[in-house]
Structure 1
Amino acid sequence: MTTALSPVDPDSYRALMAAHPGGVAVVTTHDGLGSPYGFACTAWCGVSLDPPLLLVCASNGGSTLPVLAERGWFAVNLLHGAGRRAAEAFAHRDAGRFSAVPWERSPATGLPLLPEDAHTVAECRVHRLNPAGDHTVVIGEIVRTHTPRTTETQPPLLYGLRRYATWPTP
């Protein structure tokens, strides 16, 4: 016998998602005039080795998703432990996000990158957009990866249990 079940309430959902830590990334792109856009997320993961695909989940109500969809390109800046300032700056809907942290343009794609706060960066071409509730799953084909020289030994930044932490060093 099956009982009719309703979806959990938003507070229960947030508690579930906060219970397990994830790596923190800042997803960046730019519009046709070169103005940078971006948001922080922990909803990202690898999808496929051949072709090399990853996914990020972008809010339908944010300013970045329409630009990302139009341009067809984005970068995933995987933050290191000292990149908390970038995580906090990009976690809020503030037009001054890019003035809060140093950034530069990729020589290959022109995408905005966060070299002082990221331990690894993936530059991606949009492969597919899949609407899913109040977010869109953005699948990107990775066309370039690199590790900023100044951050290659930094452990990743994690977010879970409603706080930031870093991977322990051996």
Structure 2
Amino acid sequence: MTVLRSEATIPPTERLPGRFRGFMAGFPSGVAIITATDRQGKQWGMTCSAMCSASVEPPTLIIGVRAASPTLRALLDSGSFAVNLLHERARETAELFASGDPDRFDLVAWEHESGYGGAHLYEAAHSVADCRVSQSVLVGPQRMVFGEPFRISTLTEARPLLYGMRRYGRWSAAG
């Protein structure tokens, strides 16, 4: 086995955040769009790859959201949000919601009914979990939000969209 070493094995403190970003890029994840509805009924949403399961009992997930995000403000004010897990053909939607385009909800198909945690992106998502906020914790410029799903909808059997190494990908058919 060959072990590769670089001069940056133990980087100076000022370089550590950049190295950490590169380290985490090597850990691919699924892609989700987090949506929330503010008190005036306006839809907010953002692309998120910082999501994980925290507990099966009670069912709890964690999402990472930039502390200054208007989507975060809407989901904390309303106490709920939706996690739209994107399928492999939804790259354009992921990029749109990552762009911050103020008209993003005018450019995608979505629905929001009473009792939803946020908008359901029914053409881009393979599954949606509506969640109640149970707690949140500030970590640097991010807020980790704990959500307890109260409804899970499977929309299609499509494979998930993946993100890693700073690019989008899809699940291999072989495997």
TM-score in same-fold range (> 0.5): yes
TM-score, structure 1 as length reference: 0.90
* Distance in 2 of aligned mates of 1:19 and 1:134: 22
Q: In structure 1, what is the equivalent of residue 55 of structure 2?
A: 48
Q: How far is the alpha carbon of 1:125 from its aligned partner?
A: 0.3
Q: How far is the alpha carbon of 1:169 from its aligned partner?
A: 2.5
In the comparison of the two structures, how many residue pairs are matched? 164
Query: Alignment partner for residue 153 of structure 1, among 152, 157, 160?
Result: 157
Q: In structure 2, what is the equivalent of residue 116 of structure 1?
A: 123
Query: Alignment partner for residue 64 of structure 1, among 52, 71, 79?
Result: 71
* Distance in 1 of aligned mates of 2:117 and 2:162: 27
Q: How far is the alpha carbon of 1:8 from its aligned partner?
A: 4.1
Please list the CA deviations of residues 46-90 of structure 1 after superposition, one character each: whole Å capped at 9, or x if unmatched. Answer: 111111101100001221111111110000000000111110011
Q: State the SS of the aligned residue for 1:76.
A: strand
The answer on whether the counterparts of 1:85 and 1:101 sit within 8 Å (CA) in structure 2 is no
Q: How far is the alpha carbon of 1:106 from its aligned partner?
A: 3.7
**Following superposition, which runs of at least 4 residues in structure 1 exceed 4 angstroms of deviation?**
none
The more displaced of 134-143 and 84-93 is: 84-93
Alignment of 1:73-88 (within 5 A): 73-88=80-95
The answer on whether the counterparts of 2:82 and 2:116 sit within 8 Å (CA) in structure 1 is no
The residue type paired with residue 73 of structure 1 is: S
The answer on whether the counterparts of 2:126 and 2:158 sit within 8 Å (CA) in structure 1 is yes
The more displaced of 95-104 and 75-84 is: 95-104
Please list the CA deviations of residues 121-160 of structure 1 after superposition, one character each: whole Å capped at 9, or x if unmatched. Answer: 1100000011011100000011000111xxx221100001
Query: Alignment partner for residue 112 of structure 2, among 94, 105, 109?
Result: 105
Structure ID, larger Rg: 2
The residue type paired with residue 153 of structure 1 is: E
Identity between Structure 1 and Structure 2 (%): 40
TM-score, structure 2 as length reference: 0.87
* Distance in 2 of aligned mates of 1:108 and 1:168: 36
The answer on whether the counterparts of 1:78 and 1:119 sit within 8 Å (CA) in structure 2 is yes
Instruction: Structure 1 unaligned segments of length 5 or more: list them.
Output: none
Instruction: Structure 2 unaligned segments of length 5 or more: list them.
Output: 1-11
The more displaced of 107-116 and 72-81 is: 107-116
* Distance in 2 of aligned mates of 1:75 and 1:93: 18
Q: In structure 2, what is the equivalent of residue 90 of structure 1?
A: 97
